[in-house]
Chain A
Amino acid sequence: MSDSSLQNLPKGWKSVPNDLGSDQTAFKGVQWGKAMMWIFLLSDTFIFSCFLISYMKGRASTVVDWPNTSEVFSLDFMGVPVPLLLIAIMTFVLITSSGTMALAVKYGYEKNRKMCGWLILATAIGGLTFVGMQAYEWSKLIHEGVRPWSNPFGAAQFGSYFFMITGFHGTHVSIGVIFLFIFARKVFRGDFDKGKRGFFTTMKSDYVSIEILGLYWHFVDLVWVFIFAFFYLW
């Protein structure tokens, strides 16, 4: 290959579209499903951003004071109200489940069926624990009189935004948990080793699906970090 052909390549900014569009695929070696999940997550990011920005706007412009969050979210531990206790445990559980998910992906690619399956199951149980604790938190708040339309601690919008955003996130986690259980079963049954065809899509299964599910799971965790910061630390 002569040097002249290399010099013909566009330089600077022009090289970006040239490289990106140079051939059949823009993202080399990236499976379609994986690229799709990335773009879906980008779109989902916009949904959560809209939620959180609306929340900031709503909180900034209420006519009544916002409730004191460290009091509202505190948990009685041995008779002493400890702020952020429940939420710290929830966050810890969810972040840990991200770790087990990452390991599951690794063992999946190593074709270690057993380990992969158990780790997915562990992730699912972590997610389930999170949803369970969130249900506990919701029922505790509802018990104290917090409703989507009003609450005894301050601005009515507190309950509205809290239930809506944590509910939307909780739905994401729950959907993730359902898929984790389905995938755990698929792994244990050996679908990914045999390339069994999907029930609905009739396409062959592949271990890359676990990574795709992992992407979703990490995203849900990442979003939680933002919700945590905006609701509990502000």
Chain B
Amino acid sequence: MSDEYEHKLEAKSDYVGDASSVSTPDIDAVPAAELPDQELYHSHSWWTTYVFSQDAKYIGIQYALTAVGTGLLGLVLSWLMRIQLAFPGLGWLDPASYYQFVTMHGMIMVVYLLTALFLGGFGNLLIPLMCGARDMAFPYVNMLSYWAFVVAVLVLLASFFVPGGPTGAGWTLYPPQAITAGTPGSDMGIILMLISLILFVAGFTMGGLNYIITVLQLRARGMTLMRLPLTIWGIFTATVLAMFAFPALLVGCLMMTLDSLLGTSFFMPAMVSLGETLTHEGGSPILFQHLFWFFGHPEVYIVALPAFGIVSDLLSVHSRKTIFGYRMMVWAIVGIGALSFFVWAHHMYVSGMNPWFGFFFATTTLIIAVPTAVKVYNWILTLWRGNIQLSLPMLFSLGFIVTFLNGGLTGLFLGNVTVDVPLSDTYFVVAHFHMVMGIAPLLVIFGAIYHWYPLITGRMMNETLGKIHFWITFIGSYAIYFPMHYQGFVGVPRRYFEIYDSPYIDTSTLLLNKFITIAVLIVGAAQLLFLYNLIVSARLGRKSEKNPWKANSLEWQTPQMPPEHGNWGKELPKVYRWPYDFSVPGAKEDYIPQNQPPSEIIGAKVEKT
């Protein structure tokens, strides 16, 4: 080994060793800043402060509000669909609008609510604060990202007002039916949907580059990757997934747009439609399914991984206990993320694939259960003998564990080809994916909003209203989705706008449909209660003290709360440990913030991180 090399190694490992070996025995030493302080954009007008804001916190809130607003539409659509299913005699919807509402509900909830809220909303709000940065790396691009999202939402909503209405092809938009006469919205609706998705991908890419670079390059002094809160790990990994999965969606959308507008035949086989032979010939509908699901499966984890990360932090803070197996949690997030690119065709078992493909994809799908189970065990072991506070975030986190476990177990059923084939296209599938990627992440979102609300507004949300909201939502979702599992088992097909008096379908399911619909209306109303709480508490809520949950992570350690522009005042924080030092033996308080220097906590037996 050359002298120079040795010297470099020593210089790099300076702070890794125990403090006593450093020449000046300063136990508060943190490695020197690698970069000069970030230069911030300062707004000068009302427009650049509140509308075209370049402050990540504002952008996060803008993203979240837009996503929630769009999500409300998705909620109303689900009400209308359920009323139609339970009371077909009312003639509430015609078949075309039922399909259109199914499609828009699905796409809005998955892409425009969950993805935008987790990554755009929580990502923008939390990444700079939790990493100890002043802002995102590229504030201007970040602003563009949000406005591209707004345009995407507007284009999507515009499809309600064009001739033919929005597309009714189902959220998977499968060709050839998506662009063939007979499907609602097969000319204008589908085009607007595809353009909206392309805009969303473009906007997301701009935001995603920001999130990745900020996490990798803009952390505070001492904030190593393995000291990041799991929230950041979840959002970061999900962003990486999105950067590699959205391209497939973009390409699929572009090709279908050309099929529809120019009459190309990428996805269109030779067909007879309405008695006429179409000019299309020789395309492959299965190709679209591959492109769609190469995006679609990672998309599930784009929604789930931030939820995993956030819920880990909520559980740790609200049970005053170190997260169990931090490193394993990180590797499980990364592992699930990587595996999610190798399982997409389990959505296509009935598409006529070669059985060996089914075998391969069933195997990879079941392998994902391993890191996922690691996470569930670790959450439970985090709670084990913890000082559990039944605060609102904790209630929602507990609800998440149960719901997610439930949805995950039905996933094991559907991951096996032989079990999946009879269950395919029944309500069992609907119940499964709503449990695992609808309700479970939503519970985390609610928990996270109750948890970080004081950080944004400086006030607490109303506890009583929150508890009512939780119990109705939690029990209500079971009332909705448990019966659906049964319906699926007895063979009720999904996407039927009316279950006729069929000898093949048990009459008990008709009664259940009414029960489910009543539950849906009640649960939906509880969300309005939540929104009321959200809006009113901003003005009238109890004033929160600084760091109300006594959390360790950096977002609560800003000089002002809510944090100001630039987050950290004059000096950036220095980080000495991970964010999970709760109830440390020998410490005065039951929590030790990440930026508290070791000299202030002498005697505490902190974990070496």
Contact = CB atoms under 8 A, between A and B. Distances in A.
Tell me which of B205, B208, B216, B279 has the highest count of chain A C-beta atoms within 10 A of its own C-beta: B216
A26 interface: yes
A50 B247 contact: yes
Interface stretch (B15-23, B89-97, B535-543): B15-23
Contact of A57 (B16, B225, B264, B284): B284
A54 B255 contact: yes
17 contacts: A5-B21, A6-B17, A17-B225, A21-B224, A23-B221, A24-B33, A24-B34, A24-B217, A24-B223, A26-B216, A35-B217, A43-B247, A46-B243, A58-B283, A149-B263, A149-B279, A204-B39
A196 to B, nearest CB: 14
A234 interface: no
Contacts of B218: 24-25, 32
A58 B217 contact: no
A187 B461 CA distance: 54
Interface of A: 1-2, 4-6, 8-9, 17-18, 20-28, 30, 32-33, 35-36, 39-40, 42-44, 46-47, 49-51, 54, 57-58, 61-64, 148-149, 155-157, 159-161, 164, 168, 200-204
Contacts of A25: 34-35, 216-219
Interface of B: 9-10, 12-14, 16-18, 21-22, 31, 33-35, 39, 41, 137-138, 140, 205, 208-209, 212-213, 216-226, 243-244, 246-248, 250-252, 254-255, 258, 262-266, 270, 279, 281-284, 287, 290-291, 294
Contact of B266 (A30, A47, A157, A203): A157
B220 A24 contact: yes
B14 A36 contact: no
Contact of A39 (B35, B212, B290): B212
Nearest to B9: A6
Contacts of B217: 24-27, 30, 32, 35
B251 A156 contact: no
Contact of B243 (A18, A23, A42): A42
A5 B21 CA distance: 8
Nearest to A64: B282
Contacts of A42: 243-244
A124 B9 CA distance: 44
B254 A164 contact: yes
B213 A39 contact: yes
B137 A28 contact: no
B272 to A, nearest CB: 16
Contact of B265 (A44, A51, A160, A200): A160
Nearest to A50: B251
Contacts, number: 168
A62 B281 CA distance: 8
A202 B254 CA distance: 34
Contacts of A23: 31, 34, 219, 221-222, 224
A63 B225 CA distance: 53
Contact of B248 (A21, A32, A50): A50
Contacts of A203: 39, 41, 140
Given A32-B137, A50-B291, A63-B281, A1 B35 contact: no
Nearest to A61: B284
Contacts of B213: 32, 35-36, 39
A30 B35 CA distance: 10
Contact of A157 (B12, B31, B265): B265
A57 B221 CA distance: 49
Given A1-B10, A47-B247, A61-B284, A24 B221 contact: yes
Tell me which of A6, A24, A160 has the highest count of chain B C-beta atoms within 10 A of its own C-beta: A24
A61 B268 CA distance: 12
B209 A39 contact: yes
Given A63-B281, A149-B265, A47 B243 contact: no
Closest 5 CB pairs of A and B: A5-B17, A21-B225, A46-B247, A160-B264, A50-B251
A159 to B, nearest CB: 8
A54 B265 CA distance: 12
B18 A5 contact: yes
A63 B223 contact: no
B243 A148 contact: no
B336 to A, nearest CB: 17
B505 to A, nearest CB: 38
Contacts of A148: 258, 262-264
Contact of A1 (B21, B222, B281, B287): B21
Contacts of B12: 22
A133 B221 CA distance: 52
B205 A156 contact: no
